[in-house]
Amino acid sequence: MQSEYVIVGAGSGGCAMAYRLAEAGKSVIVIETGGTDIGPLINMPAALSYPMSMARYDWGYKTEPEPHLGGRNLAVPRGKVLGGSSSINGMIYVRGHARDFDHWAEQGADGWAYADVLPYYKRMEDWHDGGRGGDADWRGKGGPLHVTRGPGTNPLTRAFIKAGGQAGYQLTPDYNGEQQEGFGPFDATIWQGKRWSAASAYLRPAQATGNCEVVQGTAAKVVIENGRAVGVELTDGQVIRATSEVIIAASAINSPKLLMLSGIGPAPHLAEHGIEVIADRAGVGQNLQDHLELYVQMAGKGRHSLYKYWHLLAKAWVGARWLFTKSGIGASNQFEAAGFIRSKAGLDYPDIQFHFLPIAVRYDGKGAREGFQAHVGPMRSKSRGAVTLTSADPNAAPRIFFNYMSHPDDWDEFRTCIRLTREIFAQDAFARYRGDELIPGAGAQTDAELDETIREHTESAYHPCGTCKMGRADDPDAVVDPMGRVIGVDGLRVADSSIFPRITNGNLNAPSIMVGEKIADCVLGKAPLAPSNDAPWIHPQWETAQR
């Protein structure tokens, strides 16, 4: 079996890549371990906590014991299904801040500044404001990816945005437009009441061209002959050959794993596992980053939260209404209010993100009660971890070690996050809804008490990236060049969140898809889309004021 291009992974980057190549008349085979994404638990937005904890859809990875978090093993959900993690994520759509991409370019990712990536965001979007305002000139229309807004009618959701304004922060009509900084409505990859994953947006249209075929199987290694990638060997021994290129888009966890299994990575580590070294790249698997967050929870007064839908009968009603009409509570991910703020003066763009949820509950759906919460955490942690091999067996899970909270600055930043969240929840907008603080709890006030809360209660936001860092070919830590080409091997690229030099502001699905879009043009030899002249909003008093 062969085609011009073989893509490993039917996730956010891989699906976008498959569509653009197939659209251009190229033959494409996409290899995906997981099965179909058809089913109510994936497609109903409000059911988002279910698929990410189901073995049918999730790789089921865990971190190593994290020493700075009390030795806890945290969950690392990664999609094992058509659409990849875009089929099991929270559906939140955040492009990232302009300064994120300018930083990429400064670090050696030439051609990836904000002016360069903004046209690709516009190309991929079909944006609908849902009557909740927005920044239409900065958004795309007619692209494959539907981006919408929930109704935002819950009084707690409205109170959160209002409280941000009362606390002295900006309000923004569209954090994905000119002004990220401030409080406003969230965007989501939801369309007509259903999850709009990369499989829906890109993979099925790619298959409809007749040029794209999906093969279910697990990649064991990239086949490399005379320094060139010529195909992919599956765990069942089958080899799928590529006459032009192999493109890895298997996630920030599985992409470096596959490179190492193929002989591309740190030579001493490969030697430990008896793997022949084809390209000694010290950066493969390194530079692992994530967003860590705490759910600051408040008990609620009255029955304004989603808790009233938490008993069996109500869930059945919500599910039935969604099943037959694709409307109601089930048609939203319930993350309908956002905030992006700066932790202190002297920062020119936000370094804290809020996800507001009108119920007090864990992300896996457990521990629900009447109340509300904000998921909050620093956007640019200085801690770095690594993905390494536990075995040369492709069926063995890799070792995932984020090394969370290993940098002292992370602790200062996280305490600031908690204290600023408390200030927002203390505003008049919440007066009629606000009960006691549940987490951290009113008794936790000192740095030491907040640090204990952080150790015990923080969770991953499920945004791993950085493990195949993009940079200039002479950067010893870079794995791919600015065209996604693996340094030291011909005919091989990586196109997913693993190539991010540094994590972006917000959720990673949007920039992961953008990476697939942009690298597809590189593969096709197309000139990049013309850079944009649009300049982002920066707070005029950023040097002297925190808000």
Exposed e or buried b for every residue in 60-93, given b needs 16+ CB within 10 A?
A: ebebbebebbeebebbbbbbbbbbbbbbbbbbbb
Contact criterion met (CB below 8 Å) for 15 and 199: yes
Would you tell me how many other CB atoms lie within 10 Å of the CB of residue 137? 10
Contact criterion met (CB below 8 Å) for 23 and 206: yes
Enumerate residues 6+ apart whose C-beta is below 8 A from 263: 221, 224, 270, 275, 276, 277, 278, 279
Query: Active site residue: 103, 291, 375, 463, which one?
Result: 463
Q: Cite the DSSP H helix spans in 356-508.
A: 408-425, 447-457
The token duo for 273 is 């596992």
Picking from 354, 350, 358, 329, the residue whose alpha carbon sits closest to that of residue 339 is 354
The token duo for 368 is 């629900």
Q: What's the N-to-C CA distance of the chain in angstroms?
A: 58
Question: CA-CA distance, 265 to 282, in Å (whole number)?
Answer: 6
Burial class (CB within 10 angstroms; exposed 0-12, middle 13-18, buried 19+) of 480? buried
Q: Which residues pair with 127 in a beta bridge?
A: 147
Question: CA-CA distance, 165 to 153, in Å (whole number)?
Answer: 18
Cα 360 to its chain centre, rounded Å, is 23
Question: CA-CA distance, 286 to 268, in Å (whole number)?
Answer: 14
Enumerate residues 6+ apart whose C-beta is below 8 A from 16: 124, 144, 198, 201, 202, 513, 515, 516, 517, 520
Question: CA-CA distance, 485 to 525, in Å (whole number)?
Answer: 13
Cα 45 to its chain centre, rounded Å, is 16
- Catalytic status, residue 463: yes
Catalytic residues: 463
